[in-house]
Structure 1
Amino acid sequence: MAEGKIMNLEELHFLGIKVVYKDLIDKGYEVLNVRKELDVNPQILAKKDDQFHMVLVKTGYYPEMGIILPDIIEQVKELGKKHHSECWYASVGIANANGTTEEEMAKPVVDGEYYINYQGLIPFPKDASAYTNSKE
């Protein structure tokens, strides 16, 4: 595996945002604002067909995907309601494409090559518990 600096959480998060940003642009959205800070939600404000869209992006290291907590969903839903915006969730998983083992794939490096797991935008659920990791 090629050596390099392993991405920290902020770098991983920003790469996930870039993946979603490109997807939005490719689908004809006008991106109005992007916030890359880990503690700011949502990360992307976009507009399409006179409708505002708030996109919450979470990114995880391979083999994980980004997850959101129910309280964050509720906060963004309230913000969306206040601003008449549709709310979306984007889960992104990043793997080191040069990794030859599971452990190496879980360590993407800065300016490296990546496998991206992104299935597109997911509408917010009516019930935030739909996004928890519980096995109930």
Structure 2
Amino acid sequence: MGKGKIMSQEELHFLGIKVVYKDMVDKGYKVLNVRKETDVNPQILATKDDQRYFVVVRTTAYPDMGILVPHVAADVLKHGTKHNAICLFASVGIANAEGETDEEMGKPEVDGEYYINYKGLQDFPKYS
């Protein structure tokens, strides 16, 4: 494994946003705004076929995947309803591709090589 600097949570989060951004552009979305701050939701505002989309991105290191907590989902859904937007969630997991053990894979390095676990945009989970 390399001896590079381990990514901070903010760096992981921004890498996840870049993964989702590229996927959305490749699928024909027009991205209007991106917010990389971890405490601002949604991270991505986009349109496609005259429909507005709010996308919350959550990124974490291997072996986990980003999760959307209920109070954030509720806040974004409320905001999305006001703006006639469809709310989507993007869960991203990032592993250090040079890691040989689970522990090493769970420490992605700045400017390193990565395995990306991203299954595309998902509907918001339903909490009751």
If the length of structure 2 is used for normalisation, what is the TM-score? Answer: 0.98
Q: Deviation string for 1:5-30 (max 9, x for gaps)?
A: 00000000000000000000000000
Q: Is 1:60 paired with 2:60?
A: yes
Q: Deviation string for 1:21-48 (max 9, x for gaps)?
A: 0000000000000000010010000000
- The structural deviation recorded for 1:75 is 0.3
Partners of 2:55 and 2:103 in 1: CA distance? 30
- The structural deviation recorded for 1:68 is 1.2
Q: Is 1:41 paired with 2:53?
A: no
Letter of the 2:81 counterpart: K
Q: Deviation string for 1:60-87 (max 9, x for gaps)?
A: 1100000111000000000100000000
Aligned to 1:32: 32
State the SS of the aligned residue for 2:71.
Answer: helix
Letter of the 1:91 counterpart: S
Q: Deviation string for 1:62-121 (max 9, x for gaps)?
A: 000001110000000001000000000000000000000100000000010000000000
Aligned to 1:128: 127
Partners of 1:109 and 1:48 in 2: CA distance? 34
State the SS of the aligned residue for 1:23.
Answer: helix
Letter of the 1:128 counterpart: Y
Q: Is 1:119 paired with 2:125?
A: no
Partners of 2:53 and 2:67 in 1: CA distance? 19
Number of matched pairs: 128
Letter of the 2:74 counterpart: E
Any stretches of 5+ residues in structure 1 without a counterpart? 130-136
Superposed structure 1 runs of 4+ greater than 6 Å apart: none
What is the aligned-residue RMSD (CA, Å)? 0.7
Aligned to 1:8: 8
Aligned to 1:70: 70
Partners of 1:33 and 1:9 in 2: CA distance? 21
Any stretches of 5+ residues in structure 2 without a counterpart? none
